[in-house]
Chains A and B, each alone.
Chain A
């Protein structure tokens, strides 16, 4: 069993971080249903292994760009539940001072500029960041998260073309969750795998079981090494599934029931938890304890976040660049 090749602490950490994302998203869902959380929200239940697998293979000062579905990426990159939740509530001490909201969470000090909700919009930006890193001869890599829907945007072609001809240290990570909003991926491309598109740009592409956090971690580790050695970019396709609506207002009728059930059985947290319990040094009780800790942590963060005051009129022009 592969899980035995890693040390316990690392694996438990992966588990805890995935669970943190799940718990965070579930609680936010209830806040939305209660009417206390403003705006609509794009959530990532089911895709936790992608965010955690990728970010666990990066260094703290590597940079990522995210999308309209950014909570998981942000938590995986080390943002705290508090700074994100305050942002979601529009509080002035949120990670974007309450001016970004759900679709723009990020913290540049933690290697995550505010998420970019324009589909495909992060691709040229991550490419630009990678160009800066290369020109400054720095060892970091840029990682660009985007969805299957983004691969038909012009920005995908333009960004990857530049990344490729300039040999930039950037990993393009496509979370292929089979749908862009309600449109199935096979309605927008003839290619069975998005990773195959890498060939058109002369870069390496790889399709990875995106619900297997260790597989994602390994693929990213190798890709990051390649980028740091000057052999980037790399296109990773993580096959995954969103176990929730596209946004909170989406009833998700387009996901066939059998498909949803089949993917629910491949829930990344469930599968990894089961694999962990195969080890001699991990028991179900350990996982239960982690769950309690995570629940308490998120509950505490919500309490904190609810109390933060919104920005005032005097803050109108601070932290705004354009």
Chain B
């Protein structure tokens, strides 16, 4: 594994791009990995047959570990074997055997001059480091960034919550149409994003935010949505969502969610949310409060869809509904404006 990270963190294998048994050329992309900075394609350093893969997608490895073995085509038996079975003392620094450089001149054979590889040196230095040193910070960069933002939110933002119930009969019907059209599952996010963007446009305090002493305003109604994985959390943003129709937003949501799953979102794609939506409507939970990311004015938390009895025109009916919890940063949004947003949200969602 090449030394591609910028911190002392492990590198996660995202995907092997070549299957075991297939041939791979020097310089051809062999796998994608996720460093503390970004997902990156890693080129093979040798040509040959991919003989063995020692780490699976999802595994985390340190720079310098052997992750695969490529059996060289042009290489002599010796060079291949010496690299596939490194002696106990050999610093294993290449993931593959020494490449044979095609019309290279005859080179002096014999043992390689011994120069301890950087990785071996680093590993030794790490081993010498007292336990509890930097290594314990095994957090991946995403987790570190999320932790930092959550802490900042907790420290600075003055949250203020308000709950309402929204009947989802119309929304459920529209969702079915949308998902059939898109041929993908996207959930209720597109409808909430579309509605909230329009409302935020009309109630401008939702476009403002406070960071430290600085108060700012977003020029467009950008709405973020939370995408969570086992060990990562992203809030990609649908920019200028006001005026976009749910089907277009649905496409964008699905594209962004896919990129999130691959760890490939750009900074821009995760920046600039005025309001964020957290949709857990598929789970049997009643309601929850979402954390407002610094730089946003509010978070909308959508609880699980439940069949509930409601009184309609004097009689009791059973309908699907969700509890929505709006959390606002009270420094920029007051209670009346929060109530207005929820009122409008109920109207939009029930009239879909």
Chain A interface residues (CB < 8 Å from chain B): 26, 29-30, 32-36, 38, 89, 248-251, 253-254, 292, 295-296, 299-300, 303, 306-307
Contacts and interface: CB of A to CB of B under 8 A. Distances in A.
A30 B45 contact: yes
Nearest to A91: B115
Contact of A295 (B35, B99, B101): B101
A38 B104 CA distance: 24
Contact of A306 (B26, B115, B119): B115
Nearest to A27: B101
Contacts of B94: 34-36
A169 to B, nearest CB: 40
Interface of B: 2-6, 26-27, 35, 37-43, 45, 63-64, 93-96, 99, 101-105, 107-108, 112-113, 115, 117-119, 264, 266
A306 B98 CA distance: 13
Contacts of B99: 30
A249 B104 contact: no
A35 B2 contact: yes
B103 A296 contact: yes
Between B4, B42, B96, the greatest number of chain A beta carbons within 10 A of the residue's beta carbon is seen for: B4
8 contacts: A35-B64, A36-B117, A249-B4, A251-B38, A251-B40, A292-B103, A295-B103, A303-B108
Given A26-B27, A34-B2, 17 more contacts: A29-B43, A30-B26, A36-B118, A89-B115, A248-B2, A249-B5, A249-B37, A251-B39, A251-B40, A253-B38, A253-B39, A295-B103, A296-B104, A296-B105, A303-B108, A306-B112, A306-B115
Between B26, B41, B104, the greatest number of chain A beta carbons within 10 A of the residue's beta carbon is seen for: B104
A33 B105 contact: no
A29 B43 CA distance: 10
A220 B42 CA distance: 38
Nearest to B41: A251
B269 to A, nearest CB: 10
B41 A295 contact: no
B167 to A, nearest CB: 42
Contacts of A295: 101-104
A254 B266 CA distance: 8
Contacts of A26: 27
B3 A35 contact: yes
B3 to A, nearest CB: 6
Contacts of A292: 103
Contacts of A299: 101, 104-105, 107
Contacts of B105: 296, 299-300
